[in-house]
Every structure is written in C-alpha cells, then in structure tokens.
Amino acid sequence: MSIDVKTLWGRSGNRCAFCKIELTPIGSKSTLGEMAHIVAKSPKGPRGQSNLTSEQRDECSNLILLCPTHHTLIDSNPEEWKVEKLKQIKAEHENWVSSQLENGRIYINKIDNSTFLKVREEEWIKFVGNHVWSIVSLTPLNISNDSLNPLNPDLLKSIHTLKLPQFYGYTSISDNINQFNTRPNEYGVINEELRHIEQYKFGHKIQVFRNSHCEFMICLEGVASSANTLSTRVLTYEDIALSFTTQINGLINIWTKHLELNDMLLTTLITNTTNTNLYSGKKTWNGYELGFTVTSQVLKYNKNINRCETLESVQESVIKRFVNYFGLNIDRVFGEDGKFNQPSKLY
C-alpha cells in the first residue's frame, strides 16, 4: 500500500469527510471507503482541468476519503463541489479527526495490506526460480479472511473465460484457460498450467483468494530466449505489453463482476530482469533499437486504482512505467487502431 493511501486513511480517521460514517466497521468483510480525486484523474473528469501531473493527481493532497453516496454527490455536480471547497472540507475533517482522537472519541481500524503483500511477493520469487515471469495482482486495501466464496459458479465461469496472450511464433498452448486445471487449494481457487515450463518455457498460474486478493502470473522465459541475439537477454516490448494488457484485463473483469470493493492495490512485476534489455520493435540503420540493460533483479510497479478508472488508463500507466524502466519512452501505448504504439529513446 502506498504512503499516500496510508496517509489519507490515517488523517481521515476511517470516516467519510462529509457524513463521518465509519468506512470499515469492525466485523465487515469489505470497506465502504472510496478515495475520491479532488482534481479528477483524467482531464475530462470532474474538476479535471488542472496543471497537476498524472502522478500528482494520485497524491494524498489531491484525495479525499468519502462514502459511496458522497463520492457520487461531488462527481455528479462538479460546479457546486469545486476544488477549493473540497480542499476546505478535507482540511476541516482532518482537524475534526485530530480533535476526536485527542479526546478518545473515535477508534481507527487499521487499513493495511503490506504484511500480506510481502508474503505474496516472497512466494512469487520462490516460485519463479530463475525464469522471467510477468505477475499482476489486485489486493484489497483491507485484508479480511473469507470475504469471498472462491468456488462460486459464476466466479469459476469468469476464470474459465480468461485469455492467455498469444506471443509471436508460439502456438503450443491455446489462448483459452483450460477449466480442467482449476481446483480448490489452501488459499481459495487456482488454475495453473506448468507442464510446458521446461520444454517451451511457457505457463501460467491464476489464483483467487478467499480474502478477495487475486493474481495472474505468466512465464515470459520463452520469449526472452527467442529474442536472445545479443550477449544480454532481450525482451520484446510488444510481448510485455500483450502480457500486461491480458493479465490486467482478466483481473479487472473478475474484480468488477465479483468483488464488492471500490478500491484495490494493483501490483505488477517482471522477475529475473538482471542483465535484460528491451527491444522497442523499431529497426534502425544499424540494426535494432534497444533500451538500456536493467541491473535490478525484479522490476515492480504499484498503483492504487478504483472503479472509476478505465481499463485502458490502467493498462497505459503500467506499460509506460515498465517501458521507462528499460530506458525508453512512449507518449501513448494504444494507437487509434487499438494496436500498440512503439516506444523509442528520448533523442
């Protein structure tokens, strides 16, 4: 969980800035709290016209904690609920929280998923060994056991309709998830295909937990090997973009259909990236345009997202960040035709 989210929930006292309702009551399976943007995430959204950058719009100073009713209220009538008015309401609410805490009148239930995520990341690194994997997960801001029935028939149907990315030159595995690979496990439900890891270096692992955490893992070792034309290992931009868009689309589909949560933490990783480069997809006069070799063992990007964000905007932010990690840049990931635009160096 990012420092901005922790700060917002802490200063807001787990209460809506308008009506003061408790947003995560003791014993509840999910949170009612919604992190609303004062200046909208998108320039086209409510109060969206601003000089704030995309990252600044996600900072604590531009977020206000609300219940679903008041989140809808401020976004449906932005002319009444202007930026300065919301900032004033937020400041007054935080002062009220401080006063209540000093007098022992309210108790703040802890909102933190960092311990749970640390355990999951340790499990991922142990599981992937020395192979390159793309990993995407969605985690509730507040972890609560048994908040979801992972064997719900509708949820299982959604898992079985997930697609796998079809990498260039690879046809050994269908793009459809095999429902016969689905089974209950100690966490909830799992669908995995690992038979081809050693021969083809492709496989996947999908899990949905009883606490509403879900994760989608795809082995990229096969495409990393096929692109190995230099002394360093090379990944292809289009393969990474295809993998992340497929994984994010699949998990967000599960979230919107089956998880009664407005906010989630998106975690994205590529493992075993030490001494790895990225091919942009562009040819140059002297060969191929590559990024810069990565020295980190794991590349990681976290982002708090809510139901108001579009699928494309989430995919864009993730892919842009990983493109940057490899020393390349891209203005827009998706072109007018829906295909991937190619990244390039800054010069």
- 237-276, pLDDT tens digit by residue? 999 999 999 999 999 999 999 988 888 899 999 999 999 9
Mean pLDDT over each residue of the chain, to the nearest integer: 88
Report pLDDT for 3: 80
Asked whether 270 and 324 are in contact (CB, 8 A), the reply is no
Provide the pLDDT for residue 170.
Answer: 53
Tell which residue, 252, 267, 345, has the closest CA to residue 306: 252
Higher per-residue pLDDT: 234 or 173: 234
| pLDDT band (50, 70, 90) for residue 108 | low
pLDDT of 26 strictly over 60: no
More confident position, 144 or 212: 212
Residue 105 to residue 60: CA distance in whole angstroms = 25
pLDDT above 90 covers a percentage of the chain that reads 58
Q: What is the pLDDT of residue 152?
A: 94
Task: For residues 160 and 155, give the distance between their C-alpha atoms in angstroms, rounded to a whole number.
Answer: 9
Q: What is the pLDDT of residue 109?
A: 60
| Residue entry with tokens 């990681």 | 300
What band does 224 get if pLDDT is binned at 50, 70 and 90? confident
Q: How many CA atoms lie within 13 A of 25 on its CB side?
A: 6
pLDDT over threshold 70, residue 219: yes
What is the percent of the chain where pLDDT is above 70? 91
